[in-house]
Amino acid sequence: MSAVHLEIRGRLAEIRLDNPARLNAFTVGMLDQLAAHLDRIERSPALACVLLTATEARAFCAGADINGWGDLTPAEFARHWVRDGHRVFDRLARLARPTIAVLHAHAFGGGLELAAACDLRVMAPRATIALPEAGIGIVPGWSGTQRLARLLPEPVLKEMALFGRRVPAERALQLGFAAEVSDDPRAAAEAIAAGVCGLSPRAVEIAKSMIHAARGEDRGAMIEALGSAAIAASADRAEGVGAFREKRSPEFPGT
């Protein structure tokens, strides 16, 4: 049974976590389901924005399900569990469409790392964020010490990862981690998404790529993607492809 759902309404896509028995904690199956939904979204150019939501009232996401990794060998834990989470969360971070995480409740561990992979976060006043991994003898494994280090001041990140402190919504807003705190975070996120729908999809996509390249989010791939897009529109590219297909020497115009 799916625990990560995808719903498309016009130009808006919604990915919804639905594993209430485990407070939406991630399993291997949920990672696979999320990856499949991201592939579908990436191949749907009509979409303008993506919301990431959850159905469980008590938590947006409690992290990674300990039943999914607790019995793994050290090699399995590092090679598969950690890498699989990185692969999927990186896919979310690099999605061409703008993404908004709707934190109606707490986001801990992997749940916080999931929200950090989105472009914006809207939080309810009661929501908190935390990295509780040290309390069970592990460390953040899905970018909690890497991507979050670019989004939060170092002392704050250390408060969470080293001292186990929670950061409430209002402080997250002051730190710039949350874009907005609202009694109805879903409605607030939908209002933000509505604004995106009136913008140029291609301009938004390229602006996102440029910002990510500047802050080191998959910089090499972003630079090559932007360069490839520029050359794909050139007369040289058209001549090169045409000459290859016609089995002749190309005569590049240089434009």
Q: Which of 7, 56, 76, 133 is catalytic?
A: 133
Three-state SS for 118-137 is CCEEEECCCCEEECCHHHHC
Catalytic residue check, 170: no
Q: Give long-range contacts, CB 8 A cutoff, 24+ apart: 139-142.
A: 140/109, 140/113, 141/64, 141/81, 141/82, 141/85, 141/86, 141/110, 142/64, 142/82, 142/85, 142/86, 142/89, 142/110, 142/113, 142/114
Q: Which of 14, 56, 113, 190 is catalytic?
A: 113
- Residues contacting residue 213 through CB under 8 Å, at least 6 positions apart: 219, 222, 223, 226
Tokens 């408060």 found at: 159
- Which residues participate in catalysis according to the annotation? 113, 133
